Structure 1
Amino acid sequence: MNTAISIVLLIAVLGFVVARPGGLPEATAAAPAAVLVVTFGLVPVHAAWHEMGALGPTVGFLAAVLVLAHLADREGVFAYAGAVAARWSRGSPQRLLARVFAIAATVTATLSLDATVVLLTPVIFATAATAGVRPRPYVYACIHLANSASLLLPVSNLTNLLAFSASGLSFGDYSLLMIAPWSAVVGVEYLIFRWYFAADLDARQHSSTLVRTKAPTVAIVVLVLTLLGFGLLQPFGIHPCLVALAGAGVLTVRRLRGLRAGERLSVVRSMAVATNPAFLLFVIALGLVVLAVRRSSAGELVARIVPHHGSFLGLLTVTVIAAVLANMLNNLPTTLVLVPLVSNSPTLVLAVLLGVNIGPNLTYVGSLATLLWRQLLRSHDHPPDVRDFLRLGALTVPACLIAGVLTLWLSLRVLGRH
């Protein structure tokens, strides 16, 4: 009975997230479900408190980096990146795709996939219009790289943060092990995009005059220093959340300087909205619902089929299981289910991340970022074609999973971590 209740509640929450009736936030269903799992005794009160305490630093970092990305957007970082991509492409749709890949992969890795979906995608729409090219290859690149290019750093994705805390790896070790899989996956995606969107990339429309945009130097320097701070300060026990808060603090002071009281209040309100409190509550509530599933017989079943050895076959099996579950349950609950089962093996934790970050490019339900991207495209009167999305996913996901696992396995051997 406990297993059935846990699974029904999880399915109900995920169904609500996909449907989003009335545009209500995800926490509308997740918060009551979390209350129910504690009320029914599926998760003891002490276990619930422990889980919330474990998720707290990760959720805090997510809030800080959302504010940092919001302030960077206000400083013009994303608009500048789009202008540079259009100018450097010199009228070539193929060169523009390469620039968009580079920018989207960099933004995802450094400012998280949310920044790529919410802040960069609208800029890419505008960039495509200015350059006189069809937007389809470039906006699809945004969501594919928001998922798959989030492999590089622990701070690139909420799933990475959740796994990183359990992996026992340092920031530098994690990044060193993931740079080869990240490069391979982005490269494979690019080659497939060039082939799949060949007709779009050969078509030209009329282009507008490209306007030179002044570089937001201060904001870019702050972002670079913040990124360096993540890696350099983590060995000293300084949580990435504090580093992100420091970066956001510098840009906040810059933003508020010279404003009147009313204008300052407006800026502070926009920053509070940027933290997306409802989504933060959703993450914590979902963690409790997933904990109920993990404590049930369903969790025991998953534990029995997950390998516990870091051979190539073990890495591949864990990656495929993670990718399949991500497309069935969404990548966030999949991470919460699988990471505790392999936390004694950092290499298998990394394999889980390959699956939950690459796998969601296969279906709309694979990640919350994909669902948000779909809504964003609809708001721009450019709804994605489900057949295109599925065909592109079927081409990229298996190839990227194999490339990611192979390069991770090789990295582990070259670096002596097997």
Structure 2
Amino acid sequence: MASPSSSRCHGTPPRSRAGPGFCRRPRVVDLIERVGPVIGFLVALTIVAEISERAGVFDVAAHWAARVARGSVLRLWLLIVVLAVASTIVLSLDTTAVLLTPVVLAVARQAKLDGTLFALTTVWLANTASLLLPVSNLTNLLALHSFSRIPDHPSYLSVMWRPALAAILATVVVAAILYRRQLRGRYVTARPADPHDRVLLLTAAGVCVALGPLFVSGIMPVFPAAVAAAFLLVVLAVRDRPGLRALDLPWRTVAALVVLFVVVDLAGRHGLTDAIGALTGQGSSVTDLMRLSGVSAVLGNLGNNLPTYLAIEPVTGSLDRHAALLVGVNTGSIVTVWGTVATLLWRQRCRRAGVEVPLRTYTWQSALVAVCAVVAATLVI
């Protein structure tokens, strides 16, 4: 016969078990279950992106765009827009910021064009195009956990495709208006891309293309990402063994994220959640959603989008409010250079390439893009 204390364990939700004799599930276990797949995905996708960059996928794509544009700055810019959007959606905003930025700037330099337009377009779309798939942004992966707790919830894609499309279109329109004069120009076709290992190049490109459908198939994203990373590591070991040692994995970022998750979790249990709830309000009307996305964007710029998401998520509730939160932290946190990790990485890459976007120019133009993208995306939730 089971003891009274053991019988009370059955049928009791983990969060409600407390006190002597109860089988309370440690809170740290819940945190690990939620954070573990996110961290694993980050490492796996970084491996895919690093090997793809070493294989020449981004280099070839950018130079292909320069040739296809046939000397038209407008066509070149539109092709860069497509590359940035595709890279962000399938391989995440950090991939676009870190790997696509230097290639785009190199093409602009070879074509004797001002790199500012291409640099800003890349960083804006790295952020504002990161709503469509769970893998596009770490905040989206975190949101999957919240989506799954809502009974009979629709898929992430069915909820976010309209805001994602609206944010991308708003960004492109604002950028085109701001740089309309530069877009009318012409350029000399850039030289062909440097030669690459054809087998490694085609394999990496094929993996990147295959990941897109897998990420929207309903499989937990960490699994296809891990398989893709392992496969490319084997191919790299066969084709370019020294390349294994050259891989730059984000261990510092992983450590910082783990600390961040723990700190925000502790702060939420000591009053932060209540304070945030008073700022963001309740309800799912257009006005309520605008308030939530606006507050999320402002707090994301004051701090960083990831801790902002973690702090606000407990007071969202409905799917519409989750969507508004993602709109705010993903598309609105671009006004300050520290608003997202991707923007910080982008700034470092620009400086390495000798392109310095004036902070004043970056701030006011990014503010304009952020306002338009957040409003447009929130209106169609």
Partner of 2:272: 298
Match of 2:236 among 255, 279, 296: 255
Kindly indicate whether the alpha-carbon contact (under 8 Å) linking 1:134 and 1:201 is maintained by their aligned counterparts in 2.
no
Q: Which amino acid is 1:268 matched to?
A: L
Question: What code does the residue aligned with 2:315 have?
Answer: L
1:124 to 79, 104, 107: 104
> Does the 8 Å contact 2:296/2:308 carry over to 1?
yes
Q: Which moved more, 1:204-213 or 1:86-95?
A: 204-213
Q: Which amino acid aligns with 1:182?
A: A
Aligned to 1:224: 209
* Structure-2 change in CA distance of 1:212 and 1:252 (3 Å): closer
1:135 maps to what in 2?
115
How many Å separate the matches in 1 of 2:191 and 2:238?
A: 34
- Structure-1 separation of matches of 2:191 and 2:41: 40
Q: Does structure 1 conserve the Cα–Cα contact (< 8 Å) formed by 2:123 and 2:343?
A: yes
Match of 1:15 in 2: none
The alpha-carbon distance between structure 1 residues 172 and 107, as it changes in their structure 2 partners (threshold 3 A), is farther
AA in 2 matched with 1:242: F
**Counterparts in 2 of 1:258 and 1:293: CA distance versus 1, 3 Å:** closer
Q: Distance in 2 between matches of 1:171 and 1:247?
A: 29
Match among 141, 148, 162 for residue 161 of structure 1? 141
Give the counterpart letter for 2:324 in structure 1. Answer: A
| 1:36-81 deviations in Å (ceiling 9; x for gaps) | xxxxxxxxx9444542442111111111111111111122110111
- TM-score, length-scaled by structure 2: 0.86
1:41 is matched with none
Q: CA deviation at 1:114?
A: 1.0
Residue aligned with 1:150, SS: coil
1:55 maps to: 35
Give the Cα separation in 2 of the matches to 1:248 and 1:269. 15
2:225 corresponds to 1:244: yes
1:109 offset after TM fit, Å? 0.5
- Alignment partner of 1:369 is 2:342: yes
Partner of 1:97: 77
Change (3 A) 1:315 1:53: same
SS in structure 2 of the partner of residue 293 of structure 1:
helix
Call closer, same or farther: CA 1:299–1:177 in 2, change over 3 Å: closer
Larger radius of gyration between Structure 1 and Structure 2: 2
- Equivalent residue for 2:298? 324
- The answer (yes or no) to whether the contact 2:94–2:341 under 8 Å persists in 1 is no
**Is the CA contact 2:90–2:211 (under 8 Å) kept in the aligned structure 1?**
no
Letter in 2 for 1:226: L
Structure 2 counterpart of 1:78, which letter? F
Distance (whole Å) between structure 2 residues aligned to residue 334 and residue 197 of structure 1: 31
1:270 aligns with 2:246: yes
Aligned to 1:78: 58
- Residues 280, 58 of structure 1: alpha-carbon distance in 2 compared, 3 angstrom cutoff: same
Offset at residue 296 of structure 1 (A):
2.1
Looking at secondary structure, tell me which structure has more helix per residue: 1
Aligned to 1:5: none
Q: Percent identity?
A: 31
Deviation of 1:385 (Å): 0.5
C-alpha distance after superposition, 1:10-41 (max 9, x if no partner): xxxxxxxxxxxxxxxxxxxxxxxxxxxxxxxx
Shift of 1:398: 1.2
Give 1:304 shift: 2.9
* Partner AA of 2:355 in structure 1: H
**Is the deviation greater in 134-143 or in 172-181?**
172-181
TM-aligned CA distance change 1:47 to 1:388, over 3 Å: same
1:151–1:178: 8 Å Cα contact kept in structure 2? yes
**Contact 2:133/2:216 (<8 A) preserved:** no
**Deviation sequence 1:209-237 (CA, Å, 0-9, x none):** 44597884332222222222222252xxx
Match of 2:133, SS?
coil
**Amino acid in the other structure paired with 1:246:** V
Shift of 1:298: 3.2
1:111-136 residue CA offsets vs partner (Å, 9 max, x unmatched): 00111011000000111123332211
Q: Secondary structure at the residue paired with 2:134?
A: coil
Name the SS for the 2:333 alignment partner. helix
Counterpart Cα distance in 2 of 1:192 and 1:407? 18
Would the aligned equivalents of 1:339 and 1:352 in 2 still touch at CA under 8 Å?
Answer: yes
- Which of the numbers 110, 120, 126 marks the counterpart of 1:146? 126
Letter in 1 for 2:369: T
Letter in 2 for 1:176: S
Q: Aligned to 1:163, what secondary structure does the other structure show?
A: helix
Tell me how far 1:193 sits from its aligned partner: 1.1
- Residues 160 and 353 of structure 1 are in contact (CA less than 8 Å); yes or no, is this contact kept in structure 2? yes
Q: Which whole-Å deviations, capped at 9, do the CAs of 1:277-297 have from their partners, x for residues lacking one?
A: 111011010111112221222
Q: Which residue of 1 aligns with 2:15?
A: none
Describe the SS at the equivalent of 1:297.
Answer: helix
The CA RMSD over aligned residues, in Å, is 2.3
Q: Tell me which residue corresponds to 1:24.
A: none
2:310 aligns with one of 336, 350, 364:
336
Matched residue type, 1:60:
G
* Candidates 312, 320, 327, aligned match of 1:354: 327
Partner SS for 2:216: helix
Aligned length, in residue pairs: 352
TM superposition shift of 1:106: 0.7
Note if contact 1:80-1:213 (Cα within 8 Å) is conserved in structure 2. no
Gaps of 5+ in 1: 1-44, 409-418
Instruction: Name the SS for the 2:136 alignment partner.
Output: coil
